[in-house]
Every structure is written in structure tokens, then in C-alpha cells.
Amino acid sequence: MSRLLDGLEVGGRIGQRIPEAVVETTSQWVVVQPEKLVPVATYLRDDSELDFRFLIGVTAVDYLGHFEVVYHLQSLSHNHMLILKTWSLDYRKPEVPSLVSVWRGAELQEREVYDLMGIRFAGHPDLRRVFLWEGFPGHPLRKDWLEMPGGLNPGLGRFPRED
Amino acid sequence: MASTQGWGDSLARTRERAMTMRTEPFVVNVGPQHPSTHGVFRLRLTLDGEKIIDAEMVVGYLHRSVEKLAEGRTYTQNIPFTDRLDYLSAMSNNLAYCMAVEKLVGIEVPERGQFLRVIMAEFQRIANHAMAIGSFAMECGVWFTPLMWMFREREKILDLFEMTCGARLTTNYVRIGGVSFDIPPEFMPAAKALVKELPERIAEYEALLLENEIVLARSRDIGVLTPELAIAASTSGPVLRGSGVMWDIRKADPYAVYDRLDFDIPVGTRGDCYDRFLVRMEELRQSVRILEQALDMLPEGPASVKVPLALRPPVGEAYARIEAPKGELGFYLVSDGSPHPQRFHIRSPSYINLTPLRDMVVGLTVPDAVITLGSIDIVLGEVDR
């Protein structure tokens, strides 16, 4: 059975190694400062007792006021999981550092989060929209995105109009 | 004499020109409407001569914004959306989503329901792998016979699904708290007959394909994925196991009743297209093994518990995952206490397995890239969501 690591314990370890990185810990997850995200992720991947070499997934949640980026991590050798989070408190221009340099698996998933949630990942090698086309108005998974601006029918804007 | 002299000069000049010829990269669009892309997937290949020097995938042609739509509907109403993600394995998708909701609310599913889920999920795995292997063989050039043979077995499995829940493809069978219907009386004899027949059929496929010269010539040492890159790029399912990494959620994080069933995890050694195909072949046999045990062990009792239609989970979040035929399928749900999910995220294996595609196809030719894509086994409904 895959064990979910206690966030309080892992948070304490991260705090010893990288001071001022941990923002909040609960029994289920660890929240870290976005500025310290890359060193924390590198530590989690390279530490032999934690050994989180496998990034399960990256996603983001809109809490109306701040964004939360969620990373699910898995250790294949010790068979345990960790939920790592970071907050982007700037709601207008959310930005967190990219983790592509730590886990290649973040590449497409961060592009997806950028496309649908509009969070910029600083340092991503190829941050473009994936599912929607360039020029699509807004980022639809945000809570304040309710309908296409200007009453445009999504899908029609892709083709030049015949006037 | 003079004319031959001229010819010689001309030849020398041509040779010289050929030596110093400047080549230009050439862009080939594979898809979005192309039979080898398994849907509306576009691969933008940059070629130098015949060699691929760069590959870029373009997706989104089938984007239906399921994640946004799901935020406006109740938890129960969202189950049919999951059918339409990976439309070749609807049962597995239903199962993963319902497990996430059950984890969020804290619902225990009765034992009979758990067994029925395992039975349906394993039948679905056989149906999915049959399609994957059949179309892979066809891309290799083993034209049509394997695909039609695979359709024959898949058809019987879909008949079983139809018998149980009335639908063949978009089953909507697994529900929160159990399954929608208990199996009808005619299901058991038909399922047992099929499970008895399947090993013979699989032996036929193996005889037809395993040592097939066309398959070997086209897929051996093509599209190699190293285990290091497979782990770093978050691949899962047969793609990860084909590279020799022993990782299966059914063993690592057992759900339903998999911890009580006996089966093996096949892994590859070289990480090429042929190994991924071999892993799928062997998984057919292992699924049959699971089905034999599960059909015998199926207990009596209720198949599901009553759950209110407008479910209001407590504030919180849950991530549940299963070993879907294509890899690790996970659902991440965030609840704010209302009947609608605040966030509904799908960790789709097809999409994430495409991460190392560029590394796998660079240096190959266009027909090899088609086979590599076929060996990853994507379904565009799940890639684009």
C-alpha cells in the first residue's frame, strides 16, 4: 500500500535543510514559498530517504484571491507519496518557478496549467498554450471566466471571418 | 576525345556540387486528419533528408473543456463525462472518478461491488489492449488480419457490457457507492465461457505476431525510451513497464480487491516499441488470470450502497488513482462543501505519456515515428479532454 507521507514531518525536514521555505504544513501536505520551490523539489528528488523521482501530476486550483499549484510526488523505491503545494498570492499576475529542470514530466502539464489557469511558470523552456489557440481570450478554468467575452461562440474565432 | 573530356568535367562538377550541397530542413505535418494518429492529433516533424531532427505535437482539436464543465454539475452528473475521456476504456475511467468521490466523502463499497468493478475493469483492459495491439500491428504493416481478430474478442466483451448496463462504449456503469446494476443471470455463463476461450485466442495472436518478421523488423530497437527518462518524464502504464520499470498501481497501491488476487507484472528489457507491444500481449494473459479468480470469488450480497443524488462532500480534497489500460489515471477533486466540485482535475495517462515523444522520435524516419506513436497508445479524447 502506497503510504502518504505526513506533511508535518517532511515539512520539518525541509525546514532544517532550506530555511524559510515552508509556509504551512498539515498532516496531508506541505506548502512552500514559490521562491524556494526549485531547491525544495531538488532536495525531495535527490534525498535518499525521500527519493521522489516520479512526479505524478501538476495541477492548480483557483481559490479566488490566490492560486494554489499542487504537485503529487511518488517514490518508486520506498512506495510513498507526498503532496507538495505552493501559493501564488498575486491574483492578477500569478507566477511560480517551473520545475521542468527537476522533473521532465512537468513540461506538458505546466503548459496545460498555463493554458487553462493562466499561471506563468518562470523558466519553462516552451511555455505556450496547448489545448486552446493563441489569442484565446482569458483562461477558462479560472473562477471568474464565465463565458466568452463579446458573446463569441468558442470555436468560430479560429477561422477568419468572411466579410 | 574532346567530348568525353567534357563529360568527365561535368561528372566531376556534379560530384563536387553533391559534396557541398546545402540541405534545408523540411517540415512535414502528420495529421490532424491521418489514420495513424488515432484521432485528431497533429505531429509537426522537421526533417533533414529522411531523418527527423525535431518533432512537435499539436493537440487540442478535441478539447471539450471537461474540467470546466464538471464544475457546474453535481458529482453524480459528472460520471458520464468520464466515459468520454478515454472512450476505449470507459469502465476504468468511471472507476477512477468514483473512487475519488468515495475517498472525498468516505463511502465504503460492498465487497460484491468491488469484485464487479475489478471484473469490468479487467475485461476493459483486454478490450483496450486488443485495440492497441491490433492497430499497432497494422501500423507495422501486418495488414488487417490481427485487427479483425482482435475485434472479434473485443466484440464479445462489449456484448457482456451491453448485457450488464445496456451500453457498449459509454458504459456509465460504475457509480458512487458501487455499480449501477447487478449482473444479469446470463452474464456469468457468458463471461466464464469467454474467459475459458481467451487463452486459446491469445495463443493464436502470439503465434501470429510475436515472431512475425514484419513486426520485428519494424519495431525492434525503434523508439527506445530509457528507464531514467521514462521515470523522469512521468510516463506510466505499458510505456513505463516496457522500459523495464516494475511499477503498477494495482500492486503498488492496491485498490478494490486487487490485493487478494494473484497476478504478475510483465516488464520489458530494451524499452523499444516491440517491448511495449510485448508488455501489452502479456497483460492480456494476466488479465485473464485475474478474471478467472475474480469470477470464482464473486461473493453474494448487495452490489452498492445508497448514496444521495445531490452529494455534498465535506470541505477538502482527494486524489484517487487506478492502473488504467493506458497508465496511471488519477482524479484530483477539491470540494468546497457544495454539491458541485470546486476543482475537477484529470491526470490523464495518454497526455502525460506523450512528454518524451520528441526524444523517442528524433533520429528516426517518418514511418518509424508513426509506429512509436502507435506504441504509446493514445486516445485523443483523453489527451485533449
Q: Which residues of A touch B318 (CB under 8 A)?
A: none
Reported residue count of chain A is 163
Q: Which residue of A has its CA nearest to B380?
A: A131
Residue B175, phi then psi, degrees to nearest 5: -120, 165
Neighboring chain B residues of A129 at a CB cutoff of 8 Å: 60
Query: In this complex, do A108 and B354 lie within 8 Å of one another by their Cβ atoms?
Result: yes
Cβ of A57 and B345 within 8 Å?
yes
Strands A80-88 and A67-75 turn out to be antiparallel
- The answer to whether the Cβ–Cβ distance between B233 and A109 falls below 8 Å is no
Q: Helix, strand, coil % (nearest 5) of chain A? A: 25, 25, 50
Q: A148 and chain B: CB distance < 8 Å anywhere?
A: no
Q: Average pLDDT for residues A155-161, to the nearest whole number? A: 44
Residue ranges making up the domain that contains A110: 3-158
Q: Which residues contact A22 (CB under 8 A, 6 or more apart)?
A: A11, A14, A15, A30, A31, A32, A33
Would you say residue B60 lies in a domain?
A: no
Number of domains chain B contains: 1
Along chain B (385 residues), what's the average pLDDT of each consecutive run of 10 residues?
62 78 83 77 88 89 87 87 89 92 90 92 93 89 86 91 90 89 90 92 88 87 90 92 91 89 91 91 92 91 85 90 91 90 91 91 89 89 88
A163 within domain boundaries: no
- Which ipTM score applies to this complex? 0.85
Query: Does the beta carbon of B343 lie under 8 angstroms from any beta carbon of chain A?
Result: yes
Residue B46 lies in a domain: no
Among B229, B231, B347, beta carbon nearest to A54: B231
Give contacts of A55 with chain B, Cβ < 8 Å: 234
Which one of A75, A77, A112, A115 makes the best mutation probe of the B interface by having the most chain B beta carbons within 10 Å?
Answer: A112
Residue B356 confidence (pLDDT): 92
- Residues in chain B with CB shorter than 8 Å from the CB of A132 are 60, 63
Confirm or reject contact between B253 and chain A (CB < 8 A).
yes
Tell me how close the Cα of A114 comes to any Cα of chain B, in angstroms: 14
What is the pLDDT at residue A83? 92
Give every CB contact of residue B67 below 8 A, 6+ residues apart in sequence.
A116, A141, B343, B344, B345, B346, B385
CATH number at residue A144: 3.30.460.80
What is the pLDDT, as a whole number, of residue A157?
Answer: 45
Q: Is-contact A94 A144, C-beta < 8 A?
A: no
Across the interface, whether the CB atoms of A108 and B254 are under 8 A apart is answered: no
Chain A CB contacts of B60 below 8 Å: 129-133
What does the alpha-carbon distance between residue A73 and residue A109 come to, in Å, rounded to a whole number? Answer: 14
Nearest to B47 by CA among B30, B27, B66: B27
Q: What is the pLDDT of residue A161?
A: 42
Tell me whether residue A126 is in a domain: yes
Q: What is the pLDDT of residues A96-139, one digit of tens each?
A: 999 999 999 899 999 999 999 889 999 898 888 888 888 778 88
Report the pLDDT value the prediction gives residue A3, as an integer from 0 to 100: 82
Contacts of B384 in chain A (CB under 8 A): 131
Predicted pLDDT of residue A163: 39
Residue B7: inside a domain, yes or no?
Answer: no
> Is 60 exceeded by the pLDDT of residue A160?
no
CB A89 within 8 A of CB A140: no
All residues of chain B having their beta carbon less than 8 Å from the beta carbon of residue A103 are 232, 234
> Domain range spanning residue B92?
67-384
Classify burial at A127, counting beta carbons within 10 Å of its beta carbon; exposed 0-12, middle 13-18, buried 19 or more: middle
Q: Do B355 and A116 make contact, defined as CB atoms within 8 angstroms?
A: no
Q: Which of A56, A62, A76 is nearest residue B330 as measured by Cβ atoms?
A: A56
B257 by Cβ neighbours in 10 Å (0-12 / 13-18 / 19+) ranks as middle
The predicted pLDDT at position A156 comes to 44
Average pLDDT, chain A: 83
Say which of B232, B245, B321 has its CB closest to residue A104. Answer: B232
Other C-beta atoms lying within 10 Å of the C-beta of residue B10: 10
Give the per-residue pLDDT at B311. Answer: 85
- DSSP at A35: G
Q: Is residue A91 part of a domain?
A: yes
Query: B351: domain CATH number?
Result: 1.10.645.10
**Does residue B130 form part of some domain?**
yes
Amino acid at site B224 = V
Report whether pLDDT(A158) > 50: no
**CA atoms of B58 and A130, how far apart (whole Å):** 7
What's B113's DSSP letter?
Answer: H
Whether the CB of A75 is below 8 Å from some CB of chain B: the reply is: no
Confidence grade of residue A2 (pLDDT, cut at 50, 70, 90): confident
Q: Helix, strand or coil for residue B316?
A: strand
Distance CA B305, CA A50 (A): 39
Max CA distance (Å), chain B = 101
Please judge whether B234 and A131 are an interchain contact, meaning their C-beta atoms are less than 8 angstroms apart.
no
Interface contact flag, B234 A61, Cβ < 8 Å: no
pLDDT band at A148 (very low <50, low <70, confident <90, very high): low
Query: How many structural domains comprise chain A?
Result: 1
Burial class of residue B307 in the structure, from the number of CB atoms within 10 Å of its CB (0-12 exposed, 13-18 middle, 19+ buried): middle
- Residue B16 included in any domain: no
- Would you call A10 exposed, middle or buried from its count of C-beta atoms within 10 A (0-12, 13-18, 19+)? buried
Length of chain B: 385
Nearest CA in chain B to A132: B60
Name residues whose C-beta falls within 8 Å of residue B254's C-beta, 6 or more positions apart in sequence.
A1
Please tell me the distance from the alpha carbon of residue A129 to that of residue A133, in angstroms, as a whole number: 6
Q: Are A50 and A40 in contact (CB under 8 A)?
A: no
Report chain B's terminal Cα–Cα distance, integer Å: 73
CA distance B378 to chain A (A): 15
Residue B38 lies inside a defined structural domain of this protein: no
In this structure, which amino acid lies at residue A20? Answer: E
In this complex, is the C-beta atom of B232 within 8 Å of any C-beta atom belonging to chain A? yes
- Residue B229: its chain A contacts at CB < 8 A? 104
CB proximity A27 to B under 8 Å: no
Q: What is the dihedral of CA B6, B9, B11, B17, to 10 degrees?
A: -140
